[in-house]
Amino acid sequence: MSGWGATGLTVERGGHTSLADVSVTVEPGEIVAVVGGDGAGKTTLLRTLAGAIRPAAGEVSAPPLERIGFMPTAAGVWRDLSVDENIAFVAAAHGLAGAELEERRAALLRGAGLEGATTRLARNLSGGMRQKLAFSLAMLHRPDLLILDEPSTGVDPVSRVDLWRMVSLAASQGAAVVMATTYLDEAERAHRVLVLNGGSVLLDGTPAEVLDGVPGHVVEADAPGDPARTWRRGRRYRVWSPEDPPTGAARVSDIEDAVVAAAIAKGA
């Protein structure tokens, strides 16, 4: 297996199978988006890749721990420390100092828009600023593998754009990025998408391959149809059909429809 990731990963926790035969690969310079509902196994997969969970079966390929950057959900900063103190603490852990540290610190603060907030305690930052600080801390040592657990969940729209820009920059500089996200527009901008459902892989591939890999097809409707195959988007409805689409027609319009339709097809 080239790049980093996992093959045939199975994780059992408390008598429950959290992941079942899950494989994922991310190359340097790529972004893999991991999507799925609550309990799908996203965080378990990311923590296993980071070495925090030992799998029951399968193989994990990852760089040494010191070459991994990890940003957990709604955490990743020390709230009682200032922005500068957070950076100094993480820098010391990685042995960064002098001109090298100053160059990285300045670049990350500039990218995060935190240059004017370096003396503020992390707990006094807005949610978006705190998440951007957490990302900066995960990137400070320029890891080979960057693991992000829903970095933009719950932040304001402007900060979400900033975070995606920072993630894209990290990939362009050579990091292999695996990120869980609840925002499917972010998944559409990733190099590859892994859709989990109940600990199993539902869809996997480039965004285009995911759209084409959905069983059956989805159509728009003005009124709801079979409740087991219908969901609402905006003022209209989507209805999944197990039949292949008519010649020349798309199976689904976007990743959101693909995820919902694939889940319905699995249940059917």
Tens digits of residue pLDDT in 219-230: 999 998 899 999
- What pLDDT does 2 receive? 61
Q: Could you identify the residue written with the tokens 């989805």? A: 218
Bridge partners of residue 61, in order along the sequence: 5
> Rounded CA gap, 60 and 51, in Å?
9
What is the 3 state secondary structure string of 186-216? HHHCCCEEEEEECCEEEEEECHHHHHHCCCC
- What pLDDT does 97 receive? 96
- What pLDDT does 155 receive? 87
- What pLDDT does 11 receive? 97
- What pLDDT does 75 receive? 74
Domains of the chain, first to last: 4-203 (3.40.50.300), 213-267 (no CATH)
Q: Which amino acid is at 167?
A: V
Taking only the tens of pLDDT, the chain with its 268 residues reads 468 999 999 999 888 999 999 999 999 999 999 999 888 999 999 999 999 999 999 999 999 999 999 999 877 899 999 999 999 999 999 999 999 999 999 999 999 999 999 999 999 999 999 999 999 999 999 999 999 999 988 889 999 999 999 999 999 999 999 999 988 989 999 999 999 999 999 999 999 999 999 999 999 999 988 999 999 999 999 999 999 999 989 999 999 999 999 999 998 6
Query: What burial letters (b/e) apply to 211-243, b meaning 16+ CB within 10 Å?
Result: bebbbbbbeeeeeeeeeebebeeeeebbbbbee
